[in-house]
Structure 1
């Protein structure tokens, strides 16, 4: 082993889930070459140090290229087989210990629980080191963490810019510092801004931009400094082309009033899903979020909707762009991250001058499954199939519910907004999710009927299911045969009783395409309405198959998303 600066540090990050990760960069000699290698170990905060140390030792062995016998532990982490004498001998050759103070080197006992070690650092301000071979690394707990920081590939004059895919963890964002600089040659830099978002000026044209940040930890004890320089100089955004959705705008030229109202449902494609060459047919500047977000708002403005529900809205761009745009358009908007943890999610917006908000809720299906009485039947059904329950509980699928009262008619509308699990072989999981959603919506409706005469449910979203699949039949028929193949996956004995109490139909019909990429082309999105409460006065047709088939896929210069917006005019019976 070679020597490292003793100021080098290791980092432990403890998450609210009861997990933690440990990271340290050490020099390892592999194939007679010494190189810095980052060791990352995941563990439960309830593990004793002895288990934690063995995981570190084993990771070092793995990086040194030795053949280590391993088993799967909880599907994510390798566990140590204590009876393996050969493995135990190899691990003993890698001295790892946790010590208090670098000088006296007093070791913590192997039976100490990891969470106690973390508390010694965070609550009692102990200086704790991990000793690997002869080197000591001071441990920092919950130092700021950023997995990615980069500037957009295209930056345009007169538009805001901010780092993309920038999601700091364990960071005090209010106290952190942000700066922007510009340069013609990337040598001499001039400061131009000091906020996380920068409004690009005319005189920035043809300049490169640099973003620099100083991130403080939540306890203000640790600092992380990062910077990113734009790949290309600032350019001017060319005028938007004439887009096919403008033909749809010809059918939405005026706002509706009295009993009629317009609803839009749209998966706008989160920026976090455009990497990995997924849309190679789309030019980079067009795929850029700062092009697509402006085109999305241009499209939405033309629909003059009363209620808008969106899926795959980036958390970052809701805060910095969409929220303000909707506000200026006269909408009140609500946003929730998927599962309260993924940096994209659901948005519901409604006209402030037309509706009064009665209530708003957001639930994550897996977290509510065992908390609410109305889901007891579903919970019991899943308890009888551990594999399906495990698969179901691994998802972060959410449901937004917005209850609105029309201030002129006093009619009450319950708007459900969701984005169901995407996997093509998970129709049975989507059935359970839809079962939960309709159960929850019905409970809210029954409660509201005690106080209001006219109450109607509208359930919108990206259901990730073609209309020939089981979910569509369940939604429109109210139940599904327990002998259906998807039900038998849930309950092999054929007693999966799945139902809802609404009379529903797809107000937007079943278009040939609502999602159009090179990987998949089909109908996945719907606006379900109660047929005994609402009627469709206009279903604005989506872009025709003939028009879409001119393109390799969406998004492209004319379409900001890989999905199409659904637009319907409704009237309360």
Structure 2
């Protein structure tokens, strides 16, 4: 992700290429997004130096403004931890000189020979505790390893500009908003990569774009678009903070406006029966096959398995906010999910269900090279986690446990069936929970699995093994619908 101001080049014309035309419309503004704002009322010309222990490089970021030449340019540099201060200063100088030369050259085109602007001499110095550090020193050591960095004057001098050096300020490396925004469904950064910040200190401000203005909406990591937001793009402004300092603010704007969606949704009918949590020792359990993205994003899925479904509705970016909205509104005590992409679990389901529903989770990836698996969520107000296990059913068949001897012997009578089952990556996930307020002190053993539909012909008859996911009306299907067990 580029964190620099984009420049619109009007001379480039490419016909019959919609993506280029759209890109031109999006970046025509001088301040295109994502936009990084360095200016702070309480910090004079900040120069942000960042280094994480063990890294091979350190970073420098600053904004160089020169009113004489009408320059406002952001620089973001990665430098080796072994680089000398002299080489580091030369690199800074080289980057600044390039910008100045280009600007002065453009200005001189309109001037007579005797009036042409001369390139100024650019000098770079770095001061730690008010003392210029030696050119022979190692830049990283001189800047980051100085024991008295918290006091004194630490400055970066570039020509006639003075920058205040700030070490390891909170920093946003990547902030990305979802490609689909649906009314009444949570919106939040799909990617949020950062350094040195504390989320509870960081400020997230949401805006709605109306014409050319941005109207403030609310603060917080999450935002739920309303009916008034439909048809408008949203902007998220993030100011990273920790207990000691504040970093530059990053702003991002959604590429698409908020969509009203295909309301009313069918799950809203079920929500009418689950408006509140169950009390006492009553439990509500939800189990849901959410269709992993690795299976939905294929030609087979689009053209055969789900040919009746619009392509956009198979996109996990579209389905995910709806899945989260549906699951949260069941107010369940236990949630068992199947076909859960590991990335989706780590980036979306686990953090969101914890923050918005107070659920902790356990994930069990399938065997082999599968990138999806099973997830059990439990309400931490009702349960205390004891332990979890993962069983690979194919391996279990070969172990001949006493409790499954009869079953295994029957399966082995059909060699093809036994081979087929042994090769599958079917997994059983179990979690042992202790009810927090139960008087009985009994433990709850939760098992979650996703079995395959298998049909194989024997010499004498057809042997069928079915695994259906029942839905609320009592019928059955193997397409991954919702199953509710409600007290």
Q: What TM-score, normalized by structure 2, do the two folds share? A: 0.47
Tell which structure's C-alpha radius of gyration is larger.
2
